Structure 1
Amino acid sequence: MDRKFIFIYGYMAVLTVITVILGFTVLNSKNECEKKTADLKKEVLVLTELIKEKDDQLRKAVEEKEKLVAKLKKIEQKIKNANKLLKRKGIKVVIPQGGLFIPANSKDIHIYAEKIEYKIDKLLKIIQDIPVGVPLYGRITSKFGYRRDPFNGKRAFHSRLDLRAAFNNLFLQQQMEL
């Protein structure tokens, strides 16, 4: 009988050890689950912050694009105005194929667009100030330079040409300027 008791006590001791080990394992895995859950919550918070940052970057990029599109539309309108002006003055414009190098950096694109806009404004001013073609068909009655003033008879500088022409020619000239 002693052997039976020893065997039963040994068997119960082994079961007790296994139960304790399983209990620790379950408790430990519960703690690990809670720890992993806390770690995952932290990761979710970090990812949420990253998403917010990326959303802000995307919003800024969209705003930047809208500004560039508006600026390019203004430049296109100025080019159209320049072409109309050149056409009125009888100058045929041949636009080359291809284009200039446009950098990918948005800051550089803004600088590039501002330079182009400035150059177009300057070109439009120059085009408007340069006389091209015959302004009016008629006979020159007074030339540019020093002459006797027709109103007071004294010598004076005359900064233009005087032309004698029919009234219709003046009307055509005004229509060309519109």
Structure 2
Amino acid sequence: MRFFLPDSQDLVDPTFDFERERRSMTRQRQRDDLYAHEVFAIPAFDGFLVSKGIVDGFGVLGSRYTLAQPIISMGFIMDTISERLHDTHIPTVIQYEQYEADLLPLKDICRWTAGCWDFGGGQQRKWNELQNTSKDIELLANHLIAQYKSRVWNRTSAAKTVKTGRAALSRRAK
């Protein structure tokens, strides 16, 4: 599963001449340039990651999370959710509500704007102590994935096993 995380500057000049390395003299960036996904006839990715905070607006002004920690960490979670949903539903398009249902069990452990992250083993970090370093991003991403798997993925698999087991028992009883 590959996702494209668009940035406001991810525009491409579709008329760029690569052989001469020149742009059109009449090009106007705001009018003529396209987002990368608009250039390909066949998508090079499976979906877009868009922050619900960007869509709905941020609840807390001045959040320090303008850097990579939550974006990259949530990207890993979205990949994990997609993997689970594609393994169980095999849809062509996964709806927002399916992602939301899988994300909700993580809400009570997330400390995006206040409190302390509890990484287990006595390791706690205040919400604003996480830095934009590969070590902190990996710590946060691994924590969120482990929590997701224990709260959603494994619970769903266990429920499916119980349901399958009950169905087999009822067939035997007949």
The TM-score range, normalised by the shorter chain, is under 0.3
Q: Give the structure, 1 or 2, with the largest relative contact order (CA under 8 Å, sep 6 or more).
A: 2
The TM-score, its normalising length taken from structure 2, stands at 0.27
Larger radius of gyration: 1
What TM-score do you get using the length of structure 1 for normalisation? 0.26
Structure number with the higher helix fraction is: 1
